[in-house]
Structure 1
Amino acid sequence: MNSALNCNISFIGGGNMAQALIGGLISRGLPENQIQVADPVEQIRSILQEKNIAVFADNAKAIENADVVVLAVKPQVLADVLKPLHGLFEGKLIISIVAGVTIEIIAALTGTQRIVRVMPNTPALVQTGAHGMYADASVSQEDRNLTGKILAATGLGLWVNTEAQIDAVTAVSGSGPAYFFYLMESMIRAGKNMGLDEKVAAALTLQTALGAAQMAISSDKTPAELRKNVTSPNGTTQAALEVFDRAQVSQSIQTALAAAQKRSQELAQELSDSIK
């Protein structure tokens, strides 16, 4: 990482996702003195100072010597944060992890087109994130490669072909952890209802989720094929899956993700209207 990322990275916003990226970068060998963070909250600055990170209350100071600037603030405050910095991003790559804000808006607020938009997810906090990335034709292959290396510090990064697809990424992986937590909740509750101690039901459920994910990642088989492999004819698994099918669980999941995508589009439009 030290040789692969020979650049200074500044974060505007030092919250959970920024700290996840910072922790991943440091664990992969990026020196602390190549990271700067600006945040208005003294408590956050103190946490980062304990990691030997240079922290600032002044955003302009934080990005002064940056090669890469990561925007990691809440979308509602982005315009107020960026307007005083307009014109200060020359020669810098901007990576935005701000939900719902388009590249067009960020370009207008910063005065640069050298922007990558990223939709991360919360498992980045344990370096198993899934990030969707988009950049238009004005971003060089070198900048794309650099962005990929930075995001790889906290998990998987995949490029999408259009900015509109970021809304689909939001529905699948951005909101996705909540879907799996929902299923875990239900399985734990079912185990408890069947007489298992709650801690036992929880431990079995979580380990099963981890094992199933690891199998799916490491196998050359699709999830559908893996499911068939553990479903014996007329067995216990088939009995459960038939209930899912009668309840149209698969169709409900697809409808739910479509609703998440639609809401992502609506929120982005509302945000765009408020900033303009």
Structure 2
Amino acid sequence: MTMRKLISGLTQQKDLNFLLTNRIPRATLTWFIGWFSKIEQPLIRDLSMACWRLFSDLDLSEARKTSFNSLHDCFTRELRPGLRPPDADPATVVSPCDAIIGAFGNIVDTQLFQIKGAPYSLLDLLGDPALVDAHRNGRFITLRLTSSMYHRFHAPHDCRIDRVSFIHGDVWNVNPIALKRVERLFCKNERAVLQMRLTTGEALTLVPVAAILVASIRLHFIDATLNAQTRGPMGFSCDASVRKGEELGWFEHGSTIIVLAPEDFEFCGNVVESARIKAGQPLMRKVRAGDPCLRAEPQA
């Protein structure tokens, strides 16, 4: 096979992937899968999980349970206790989830990137000018959860959660193929904005972004599931104190979490684009006088 044919074939595969996962009634399919996945019927559960295994690297060896009531029960599975201990260094912010590392780096004034050459703004993402100012010229990192991964997410540090805002939107796929084709994708999809403050006073923000098949985000500390059916006020004031590694909630499939931190945080040495990271592993560290440079090469 010539190089030209190989490149052409890969391009056609990417185009087909994009068409199959985006040029369809995304909201309707997402609602249907949400309903279907909760059916507690053994035959439906077993066939659904068999299909899931065909198209993913699903590994349930770490799961707390050995059997599941439904596909949804498997999606939102817990792990056996002690498998994701958070890094103990108090200066370290840890990954809130198992993920593949995407774009990361400096926020240039208020601009960040979903991939190289594809910028979007903090205001479009967060919708709150005051929160934008808190992260101006700060740091950002994108963490993508695939469908087969552990879908629960955890506190990245000891902190207080002051407010949650839910922003209604679309449910585009968030895989790399879609990120290259849909401008400002993260700003178009449904998402929650979790405003946190570390015990040392710094602002830290998590933005769980929903996607096709996963437009539901469960948050324990406000006892709510946020999705297209959520009605009423979209802002939730709260005063929740959480410890590093404590479970915050879950996605109902795979998606993305964007982490925003102030400019006096640097990336840890294990932060490399396309690398896999697990919940609790080092993500960023507050720079202290005399510290060696810890920063990974940012992606932009």
TM-score band, normalised by shorter chain: under 0.3
TM norm structure 1: 0.26
Higher relative contact order (CA 8 A, sep 6+): 2
TM norm structure 2: 0.25
Higher helix share: 1
Rg comparison, structure with higher value: 1
Higher strand share: 2
